[in-house]
Structure 1
């Protein structure tokens, strides 16, 4: 009987172990395997995932992680931080005054992480697309160019915000990525980072079609436009104290060449109404637009892909809005909309007089570019449409 019990326990243990092994050997849900993303029919999903990170911010605290440009407005002379006081998002005030800025806070660290998450997606797509033959994936060249653009765009957004950034290409191990410095020890300036970004945009320009069927996909003109923007940054190198050291006229001439290509393509023109660039019914249709970020809701994700980076700019206007009043237009920026009797900008004298302290006289005694009515909400004057 004792031997029988021992035998029974051994057999039962073997059955249990086998059953546990079978039960645990299942594919996890919500993730894709290496084999799945290597199939040609799955590559479009990798491309879409990379595109999704252009406006992307995590469901929590999106305004702190977005690459939205209004933070750059606060850091320049276009806007004040706003909000509920200096203790309301103090890190943005520190950015505004260039004082005590920390890299560890979410307002910086969140943006940094989010940008490199998007770059990782673009690199993953590039690596997988390179592995397939064009006969299996006929749009290989175009999709590779799109991913080079997205990678460049994300690096560009980080570069203009932080200056010294690691440029991360595809094909690197985790350890190799971690060893990339923000600034190379031998670097005299940051031009080598700009060059990486420029090379990616140029690759995109050389391999993208002039038009795309799908809204939101970049084309040759999109890449050319960002080549122009990148060359303009490169034309004005600065030292470590942000002082201009030179004006590179060859870069300016090259930028003009690309700008003229866009203008002479015949695909783009000024909109009949400036408002068409911003109205919902003109989404993806304005003749001025070279590329539009695509937002979505009810798309199967918990929160959609929304323009949450602007969520804190709502005027604090009781009882209609109880938050948040950030991104307040500066007097300097409003002054810049002043025009002379011929309707031309007043480059030398626009800032001689301000609305500060003389609100009524200021607006009645001066003439403004009508686009101010879209850009700044001014009590007593027309606002948008």
Structure 2
């Protein structure tokens, strides 16, 4: 699935949020006389069926404004940005940690993921009915399971226990909806489903190098292993995380780009460091990810939200090249030669979200042809390092951190490795990449980090976000609200 093909949606797959009461059928356009049976009898449609699942990744309610708000603006890495009077609907509340269940961002995140899960469930259901090559069918089902696991991973990190829906559900079946769609599973049960999907996907997925150029960007064995290593880490299954990260490292499929600044530029797309990316093109772009974070003022490059914080700026060690590759400073010259004015509304913006109008695929501010990184090899090295540390293997932890430090301009870690050493390296390596909030929460360091940034983290509440109020209402109160909301 290369940059020329990407996510071609099938005309007949009408995805809907599981909790929004929309149709769940394969709705084939009738103007050409084609029926569902006609569609399912054509094996050529199998790949397009799964492409329709991938295409959900590009939508506004997946990785755009709301995701940016709850994963980045909440953290000490970023401030709301934009102008003082522009709240971004609720992004000022994300910044101050004063959000509530009625805020739009949470409902968008919830709805977007369940729309994606709905598509994955439908694809798996209909693929089972297609008479096609078994290996191809198994691979396509595995791709859908990987995507389903990815979206459940987003949900469980955000909300804790959530409903787990894996089948093709008749939305007229009230009893099943009440028992499955409107009933939360525990956090452990959600992770168990993630593990099941990924363990079933791994043997059926090719290595990255085994895909043709036309299929570049599809889920790979390494992507499923990387996500599983991360899911294990979040559950504190240190040995499993350590071992699974090693599978990715030893696969020979991945490596670090020599230049850290290239990782998030178009030149680095689907490169050695890439494990899984949202694929975007000039014909089918990523909605508003760049625009939301583009510098605000004259010239106007975007809405100006999610600006790197002073806390992040001051956290870097002197000489760390990751600082200037992450933070776009007003009044500077950018990598493409663009001279930024010192009069922009904010002094700093997210450089990783910057898309060059001069040297990259440019199709306008609202839709970007630049890929979004979801899983990277550098993250796997950090996961391996942390799991090693937790297991008492300090030499392995140091070796993996030093591997990352080679390109930073800092040199090897000199002091004994501690958990804070690893947390710091994760911050600098993954800054503005939607990881910091979750890292602080899972390591128990959020209260202190937020306090240092002038924010109050409420222990016992802020470990998860609120279940969106519209979903609780739609469930007739069956969805139990998270504590403190």
Structure-1-length-normalised TM-score: 0.70
Q: Tell me which of 316, 319, 322 is aligned to 1:371.
A: 322
Q: Distance in 1 between matches of 2:332 and 2:314?
A: 15
1:164 shift after superposition: 3.3
1:165 shift after superposition: 2.1
Q: Distance in 2 between matches of 1:313 and 1:161?
A: 21
Paired residues for 1:237-316 under 5 Å: 251-284=237-270, 286-298=271-283, 304-316=284-296
SS for the counterpart of 2:292 is coil
For structure 1, list consecutive stretches of 5 or more residues without a partner in the other structure: 1-25, 236-250, 299-303, 339-366
CA RMSD of aligned residues (A): 2.8
1:327 shift after superposition: 0.2
Q: Distance in 2 between matches of 1:384 and 1:147?
A: 37
Q: Distance in 2 between matches of 1:258 and 1:270?
A: 18
1:223 shift after superposition: 0.4
Q: Which has the higher contact order (CA 8 A, sep 6+)?
A: 2
Who wins on radius of gyration, i.e. which is larger?
1
User: Residue 369 and residue 382 in structure 1: after superposition, are their counterparts in 2 closer, same or farther (change >3 A)?
Assistant: farther
For structure 2, list consecutive stretches of 5 or more residues without a partner in the other structure: 1-27, 337-485
Verify: 1:79 aligned to 2:78, yes or no: yes
Aligned position for 1:234: 235
Q: Distance in 2 between matches of 1:156 and 1:62?
A: 14
Quick check: 1:46–1:125 contact (8 Å CA) kept in 2?
Answer: yes
User: Residue 370 and residue 100 in structure 1: after superposition, are their counterparts in 2 closer, same or farther (change >3 A)?
Assistant: closer
User: Residue 88 and residue 330 in structure 1: after superposition, are their counterparts in 2 closer, same or farther (change >3 A)?
Assistant: same
Quick check: 1:64–1:110 contact (8 Å CA) kept in 2?
Answer: no
Q: Paired residues, what number? A: 301
SS for the counterpart of 1:112 is helix
Structure 1 residue runs of 4 or more that deviate by more than 6 Å after TM superposition: none
User: Residue 272 and residue 210 in structure 1: after superposition, are their counterparts in 2 closer, same or farther (change >3 A)?
Assistant: same
User: Residue 75 and residue 311 in structure 1: after superposition, are their counterparts in 2 closer, same or farther (change >3 A)?
Assistant: same
User: Residue 280 and residue 62 in structure 1: after superposition, are their counterparts in 2 closer, same or farther (change >3 A)?
Assistant: closer
Aligned position for 2:56: 53
SS for the counterpart of 1:148 is helix
SS for the counterpart of 1:292 is strand
1:172 shift after superposition: 2.6
Q: Distance in 1 between matches of 2:82 and 2:321?
A: 27
SS for the counterpart of 1:107 is helix
Q: Distance in 1 between matches of 2:92 and 2:146?
A: 32
Q: Tell me which of 122, 125, 143 is aligned to 1:124.
A: 122
Q: Distance in 2 between matches of 1:90 and 1:202?
A: 40
Paired residues for 1:189-200 under 5 Å: 190-200=187-197
Paired residues for 1:357-368 under 5 Å: 367-368=318-319
1:256 shift after superposition: 0.7
Q: Distance in 2 between matches of 1:166 and 1:72?
A: 21
1:126 shift after superposition: 0.3
Quick check: 2:152–2:190 contact (8 Å CA) kept in 1?
Answer: no
User: Residue 97 and residue 146 in structure 1: after superposition, are their counterparts in 2 closer, same or farther (change >3 A)?
Assistant: same
Aligned position for 2:180: 180
1:323 shift after superposition: 4.5
Paired residues for 1:85-104 under 5 Å: 85=84, 88-103=87-102
Quick check: 1:54–1:154 contact (8 Å CA) kept in 2?
Answer: no
